[in-house]
């Protein structure tokens, strides 16, 4: 049983009188421990796919099984619970609450479930992304890369089975991008966390082990990356990172 | 979401926009303070009137003359049909066994002049029983005796305010005063009872009729304005009323319409209480409206807040917040606002009540009664208002689709 199994998934949005197929018969399986990039031009359906994978939305038809559970028939409450327990989101715009400190932002993910020692766990998560010292800072006091690391800490704090990153480096400079990619790779390699990255940068995709190409709501190619590049979070070492 | 986390979140959200929170609170504060202070005034006046009536004495009937006849230009009887003899006749143990005592009175007013001071007072012509029937007590000296009434003596008993004005702390007994230019000897002073009762000068009713009101009545035909009848017991008031009616109709040879009215003290109390309750309700309704306006303010601000925080709601939902969590968060914020506003409002209302109590406002002596049941009610109502006006914005927030909420900027 794969972690994610999609069969003939469609997603239809009704815009005015016209039905738009955001996803048009997508079937794919992603195994536990994979690191996958999803690529495609805007409007190709990759964000819709992410939303469905992350249980923010349900398919119009077809079947989506997460860890063997059929998601399509779930209630709002069950979807919310899954988002809380099994999925971690990393957003392009970080989506941190500006009024909360870094640690409070991480704690936010622990708010909606029975979690003990929320404060401590949030600090541990910040520690794992190297931001323990910045725990009391607000997002505005952090650099873009640091904010995204807080975002990752927030996604990780609940120990999800699936990490979904939607253009995680879209707003970052190359050095910070590298840092983030290195972090995602490390999580995948060391902890066996399943990571799915939506990106339109081929360079980022080259760091994953599988690239799924989308166009017009369909999978047009699905290929393994034979020799994924390894990102090293250091500008000087970047040249030698290709292996 | 744990209750503690909920409270913390609500507190944080509310605290993040202090000016807006303050203004929203102000709406509730004004509403609740208005309810508290207006109800306090309502209850105060109710108390005041009840006390006044009860201080008159108990189990009383008030008999007054009334013009009879329905003629447009006042044809028929006159208003001088009640006499001192009528009053004494009511003491007849055979015809009126339920009557314990009577206190006829004539009221006029005039200048009271002492040696070195003068004042304006209500002058009452009364009999000896007036003291007991109307619940007065002698502070010094003596009261008007039956002999004073019989002889038409020129003696006077002063109310405590009058004594104070004319003599200060000195003993007025034995002093000479002039009432409307006629000389009277002060024989006593009354214990203070509060209000207008203390601004009275009491003289024998016969003296009042002859010397102070220009009655040219013969012996026993002293016309009186009110006869206060004290029943032999609180349960005998109705019997006394019937006996007095029968007796007076006989004496006045009346076959159709009475030429007098009898007011029952309890009836008067009930009527006044009823009036007062209407008054209090009216005040409460006005205050309730301002409370409602405060509630609408909360709803308004909550709706703005939901729109402003759409993205935050999206983030929370992406992190696993259920509809219920979002709903609770916003309802808690609304409740926080309304209960905090209500609490401060109760405080300010209590303060206003205390400040206004006993003060002279626009010529009226205001008496206020702060009642904790009203305070609790106001708090409860503010909580309900918060809930009521918070639910709609909260429902809107919780119904937002996470994806659309996340896309919002």
Task: Average the pLDDT over each of B22-36, B130-144, B154-168, B255-269 and give the range with the smallest value.
Answer: B255-269
Task: Tokens for B175, please give them.
Answer: 């002093």
**Surface of B (321-340) touching A: CB under 8 A:** 321-325
In a domain, B62, yes or no: no
Beta bridge partners of A69: A66
Q: Report the distance separating Cα B170 and Cα B102, nearest Å.
A: 33
Closest A-chain CA to B14? A99
Domain ranges for chain A: 33-57+75-241
From B107, B137, B111, select the one nearest B123 (Cα to Cα): B107
Q: Inter-axis angle of helices A118-128 and A102-111, to 10 degrees? A: 120
A77 in contact with chain B, both atoms CB, cutoff 8 A: yes
CATH topology of domain A33-57+75-241: Rossmann fold (3.40.50)
Indicate the pLDDT class of residue B217, thresholds 50, 70 and 90: low
Considering only CA atoms, give the Rg of chain B: 33
Q: Do B320 and A57 touch (CB under 8 A)?
A: no
B276 and B254 within one domain: no
B315 in contact with chain A, both atoms CB, cutoff 8 A: yes
In a domain, B76, yes or no: yes
Considering only CA atoms, give the Rg of chain A: 18
pLDDT at B74 over 50: no
Beta bridge partners of B229: B61, B102
Q: Report the distance separating Cα B208 and Cα A20, nearest Å.
A: 104
Q: Report the distance separating Cα B259 and Cα B388, nearest Å.
A: 59
- Residue B372: C-alpha distances to residues A162, B314, B367, B369 (Å): 57, 44, 16, 10
Q: Which residues of A touch B10 (CB under 8 A)?
A: none
> Nearest 5°: CA angle at B309, between B334 and A139?
120
B274 and B254 within one domain: no
B84 and B220 within one domain: yes
B35 and B77 within one domain: no
Q: Would the pTM of this model clear 0.80, i.e. be above it?
A: no
Cβ atoms within 10 A of the Cβ of A62, count? 17
Instruction: Establish how many alpha carbons lie within 13 A of residue B153's alpha carbon, considering only the half-sphere containing its beta carbon.
Output: 18
Contact B205, B128 (CB under 8 A): no
Contact B332, B7 (CB under 8 A): yes
pLDDT at B400 over 50: yes
Mark which of B226, B258, B290 sits at the end of a domain.
B258
B344 in contact with chain A, both atoms CB, cutoff 8 A: no
In order along its 243 residues, chain A shows pLDDT tens digits of 899 999 999 999 888 889 889 999 999 999 999 999 999 998 899 989 999 999 999 999 999 999 999 998 899 999 999 999 999 999 999 999 999 999 999 999 998 887 788 899 999 999 999 999 999 999 999 999 999 999 999 999 999 999 999 999 988 999 999 999 999 999 999 999 999 999 988 999 999 999 999 999 999 999 999 888 888 765 444 443 333
B225 and B79 within one domain: yes
Of A51, A80, A100, the CB nearest to B403: A51
Of A57, A77, A112, the CB nearest to B319: A112
Q: Do B319 and A109 touch (CB under 8 A)?
A: yes
Q: Which residues of A touch B317 (CB under 8 A)?
A: 56, 80, 83
Q: Do A91 and B403 touch (CB under 8 A)?
A: no
In a domain, B59, yes or no: no
Per cent of chain B over pLDDT 70 is: 94
B14 versus A32: the higher-pLDDT residue is A32
Mark which of B258, B286, B317 sits at the end of a domain.
B258
B401 and B287 within one domain: yes
Of B9, B314, B317, the CB nearest to A80: B317
Q: What contacts B311, CB < 8 A, 6 or more positions away? A: A95, B405, B406, B408, B409
A95 in contact with chain B, both atoms CB, cutoff 8 A: yes
Q: Do B16 and A80 touch (CB under 8 A)?
A: no
Mark which of B224, B258, B292 sits at the end of a domain.
B258
A56 in contact with chain B, both atoms CB, cutoff 8 A: yes
For B207-256, what is the HEC assignment? HHHHHHCCCCCCCCCCECCEEEEEECCHHHHHHHHHHHHHHHHHHCCCCC
B323 and B352 within one domain: yes
B254 and B118 within one domain: yes
Of A80, A83, A99, the CB nearest to B16: A99
For chain A, what is the HEC assignment? CCCEEEEEEEEEEEECCEEEEEEEEEEEEECCCCEEEEECCCCCCHHHHHHHHCCCCCCCEEEEEECCEECCCCCHHHHHHHHHHCEEEECCCCCCCCCCCHHHHHHHHHHCCCCCCHHHHHHHHHHHCCCHHHCCCCHHHCCHHHHHHHHHHHHHCCCCCEEEEECCCCCCCHHHHHHHHHHHHHHHHHHCCEEEEECCCHHHHCCCCEEEEEECCEEEEEEECCCCCCCCCCHHHHHHHCC
In a domain, B312, yes or no: yes
Shortest distance between the Cα of B7 and any Cα of chain A, in A, equals: 12
B408 in contact with chain A, both atoms CB, cutoff 8 A: no
Q: How many domains does chain B have?
A: 2
B79 and B206 within one domain: yes
Instruction: Supply the range of the domain harboring residue B275.
Output: 3-52+270-407
ipTM score of complex: 0.92
Of A80, A89, A154, the CB nearest to B322: A80
**Surface of A (118-177) touching B: CB under 8 A:** 154, 158
């Amino acid at each position: 049983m794969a972690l994610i199994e999609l069969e003939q998934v469609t997603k239809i949005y009704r815009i005015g009188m016209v039905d738009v197929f955001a996803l048009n018969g997508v079937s794919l399986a992603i195994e536990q421990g994979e690191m996958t990039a999803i690529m495609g031009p805007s409007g190709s359906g990759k964000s819709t796919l992410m939303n469905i994978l992350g249980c923010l939305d349900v398919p119009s038809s077809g079947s989506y099984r997460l860890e063997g559970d059929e998601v399509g028939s779930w209630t709002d409450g069950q979807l919310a619970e899954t988002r809380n327990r099994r999925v971690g989101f990393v957003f392009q715009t970080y989506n941190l609450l500006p009024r909360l400190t870094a640690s409070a932002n991480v704690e936010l993910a622990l708010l909606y479930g029975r979690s003990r020692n929320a404060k401590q766990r949030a600090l541990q998560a910040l520690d794992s992304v190297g931001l323990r010292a910045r725990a009391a800072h607000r997002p505005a006091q952090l650099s873009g890369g640091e904010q995204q690391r807080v975002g990752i800490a927030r996604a990780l704090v609940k120990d999800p089975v699936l990490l979904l990153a939607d253009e995680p480096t879209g707003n970052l400079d190359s050095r910070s991008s590298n840092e983030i990619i290195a972090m995602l790779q490390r999580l995948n390699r060391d902890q066996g966390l399943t990571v799915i990255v939506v990106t339109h940068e081929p360079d980022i995709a080259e760091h994953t082990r599988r690239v799924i190409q989308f166009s017009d709501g369909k999978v047009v190619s699905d290929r393994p990356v034979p020799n994924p590049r390894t990102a090293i979070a250091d500008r000087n070492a970047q040249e030698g990172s290709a292996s | 979401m744990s209750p503690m986390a909920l409270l913390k979140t609500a507190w944080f959200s509310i605290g993040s926009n202090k000016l807006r929170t303050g203004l929203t609170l102000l709406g509730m504060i004004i509403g609740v303070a208005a309810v508290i202070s207006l109800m306090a005034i309502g209850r105060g006046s109710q108390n005041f009137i009840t006390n006044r009536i009860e201080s008159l004495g108990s189990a009383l009937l008030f008999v007054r003359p009334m013009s009879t006849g329905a003629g447009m230009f006042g044809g028929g009887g006159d208003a001088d049909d009640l006499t001192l003899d009528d009053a004494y006749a009511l003491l007849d143990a055979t015809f009126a066994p339920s009557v314990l005592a009577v206190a006829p009175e004539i009221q006029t007013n005039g200048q009271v002049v002492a040696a070195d001071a003068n004042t304006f007072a209500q002058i009452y012509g009364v009999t000896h029983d007036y003291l007991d029937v109307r619940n007065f007590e002698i502070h010094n000296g003596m009261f008007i005796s039956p002999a004073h009434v019989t002889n038409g003596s020129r003696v006077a008993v002063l109310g405590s305010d009058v004594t104070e004005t004319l003599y200060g702390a000195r003993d007025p007994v034995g002093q000479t005063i002039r009432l409307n230019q006629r000389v009277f000897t002060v024989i006593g002073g009354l214990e203070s009872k509060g209000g207008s009762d203390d601004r009275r000068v009491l003289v024998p009713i016969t003296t009042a009729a002859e010397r102070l009101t220009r009655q040219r009545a013969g012996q026993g035909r002293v016309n009186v304005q009110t006869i206060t009848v004290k029943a032999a017991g609180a349960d005998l008031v109705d019997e006394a009323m019937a006996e007095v009616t029968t007796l007076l109709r006989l004496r006045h040879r009346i076959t159709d319409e009475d030429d007098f009215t009898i007011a029952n003290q309890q009836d008067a109390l009930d009527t006044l209480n009823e009036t007062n309750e209407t008054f209090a309700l009216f005040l409460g309704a006005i205050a309730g409206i301002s409370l409602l306006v405060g509630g609408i303010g909360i709803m308004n601000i909550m709706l703005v807040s939901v729109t402003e925080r759409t993205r935050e709601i999206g983030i929370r939902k992406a992190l696993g917040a259920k509809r219920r969590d979002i709903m609770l968060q916003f309802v808690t914020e609304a409740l926080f606002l309304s209960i905090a506003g209500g609490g401060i409002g109760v405080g300010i209302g209590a303060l206003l009540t205390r400040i206004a109590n006993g003060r002279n406002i626009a010529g009226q002596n205001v008496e206020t009664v702060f009642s904790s049941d009203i305070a609790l009610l106001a708090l409860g109502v503010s909580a309900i208002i918060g809930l009521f006006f918070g639910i709609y914005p909260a429902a809107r927030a919780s119904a937002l689709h996470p994806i659309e909420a996340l896309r919002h900027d």
